Amino acid sequence: MGMTWSATAMDPARAAALLQRSERIEEALYEREELRGGQDAYLDKAWHAIHFVLTGSAWAGEAPWAWAVLGGTPVGGDEADSDWRHLPAEQVREVAQALAQLPPAEFAARYDAQALADAQIYPDVIWLRDGDEAKDYVLDYYAQLSGFYAAAAQRGDDVFATIG
């Protein structure tokens, strides 16, 4: 199965209510039981490559680029063990604005399979082996991520994201 990235966007009032019940936040987000009307995004295993192309780093990077995939504040339970991260609407807007300035063609120009392989970007076996297929895979998910943040920002939503 592997590590995949997913996110849910929701209005700030609903997000604040969820944050107030930290003992149930992970259960609610995983089960989506209380999230009717929330919008979801999924990057499969392309998340790490997208982060690397945006930031030039495997795990770090400057805001707002680094917030797109790995940003936010840990939520629920022991912060060290939390799988979910929360980005407030203001950060969601900043991510959306940054991604809007990097259209897919420019993102594609930054994509470097050798650099991904050298940096051991997950899943590290595909970048050189799969060539253009791997690049297309990442580009498709980048377009989806850009659209997700654009729509969330337009609605004024917060975002909860996880890798698991």
Between CA 6 and CA 157 the distance in angstroms is: 16
Measure the CA–CA gap between 1 and 15, rounded to whole angstroms. Answer: 29
So what's the pLDDT on residue 105? 97
Superfamily of structural domain 5-163: YfbM-like super family (3.40.1760.10)
Whether the bond into 88 is cis, omega within 30 of 0: no
Annotated domain spans of the chain:
5-163
Please say whether the dihedral angle defined by the alpha carbons of residues 81, 86, 91 and 92, taken in this order, is positive or negative. positive
Which spans in 84-130 are helix H?
A: 89-100, 104-110, 113-118, 126-129
Per-residue pLDDT of the chain (164 residues; tens, 9 = 90+): 689 999 999 999 989 998 988 777 777 777 664 555 568 999 999 999 999 999 999 999 999 999 999 999 998 655 545 688 999 999 999 999 999 999 999 999 999 999 999 999 999 999 999 999 999 999 999 999 999 999 999 999 999 999 98
